[in-house]
Amino acid sequence: MSATTSRRINSEDAEIFYWTLGDGPPVVLLHPFPVHHEFWLPVAETLSARYRLILPDLRGHGESGVGEGPATMQKHSADLARVMDDTEVGRAAMVGVSIGGYAIFEFWRKHRERVAGLGLCNTKAPADTPEARAGRLEAASDVLERGTEPFFESMMPKLFGKRTRENRPDLVDGALRMMRKMSADDIAQVQRGMAERADSIETLKTIDVPTLILTGDEDLMTGVNEAELMRQRIAGSRVRVIPKAGHYSPWEQPEEAARLLRNFLDGI
């Protein structure tokens, strides 16, 4: 893999870390909750041969601070704009998994002229239902009381496909190692920010750049139904399903994810 450089910048009330590697057209890769930029490194090995990859730690994740109050999508979007400014990138393809996708929808609403193409992976457009929102807020309170480990353990069956959990304990352990960078307060504020995110279904109709939608065949959290909902509303978009993968499909099956993303990016 080509040389990686890291930078830290101030974005409002938080310090944001990001890494860059590779040369070529810029691509921003946004990881899911509650891991960090290393989620993308197995895929980056393939993509960095042709693209300049920008890998932020989203606010509250990894090395990035959470700031004051909930880590809202508006804050994540502003952080991304500052990272792009700092890298002197005017326009880039953007790929986001789960919360990375939520941040991309907000970024599109604010800065669509800066988006060359979209990869929406294991994510969904609707806002939380009242039940899901209540669950997030309860999890935020719970993690402050009980600590982070019970929360991480409870997430594993939701994040990973059954086959990954049975056959690749190394991938589960690697994700846990990334998660442990987050404090209880980080988790609580990121959950609160996701709970108040806007509904993005109407936004889908406005997306007019090349769009690839990826999901895993064992993704219990978003899955094929959510992918199809996006495909039907984003003109010209395509869905690809990664086999033997759950909600963390690019981490679970990086070779297949890299192949699909490389073909998509080469076509932009």
User: CATH no. for residue 116?
Assistant: 3.40.50.1820
pLDDT of residue 3: 77
Distances (CA, A) of 58 to 40, 253, 259: 13, 22, 25
Least confident of 1-5, 107-111, 190-194: 1-5
In the structure, what pLDDT confidence band is assigned to residue 52 with cuts at 50, 70 and 90? very high
pLDDT in tens, 160-193: 999 999 999 999 999 999 999 999 999 999 999 9
pLDDT in tens, 16-26: 999 999 999 99
Averaged pLDDT for residues 150-155: 96
128 with 197: CB under 8 angstroms?
Answer: yes
Query: From CA 27, how far away is CA 94, in angstroms rounded?
Result: 6
pLDDT of residue 2: 67
| DSSP per-residue codes, 29-84 | EEPPTT--GGGGHHHHHHHTTTSEEEEE--TTSTTS---SS---HHHHHHHHHHHH
SS3 89: coil
110 with 214: CB under 8 angstroms?
Answer: no
In the structure, what pLDDT confidence band is assigned to residue 4 with cuts at 50, 70 and 90? confident
**Encoded amino acid at 20, one letter:** T
Query: From CA 16, how far away is CA 42, in angstroms rounded?
Result: 22
Q: Which of 262, 257, 212 is nearest to 236 (CA)?
A: 212
* Domain with 121 in it: 4-266
pLDDT of residue 1: 61
Cα-to-chain-centroid distance, residue 8 = 19
Domains in the chain, number: 1
What pTM was computed for the model? 0.98
In the structure, what pLDDT confidence band is assigned to residue 55 with cuts at 50, 70 and 90? very high
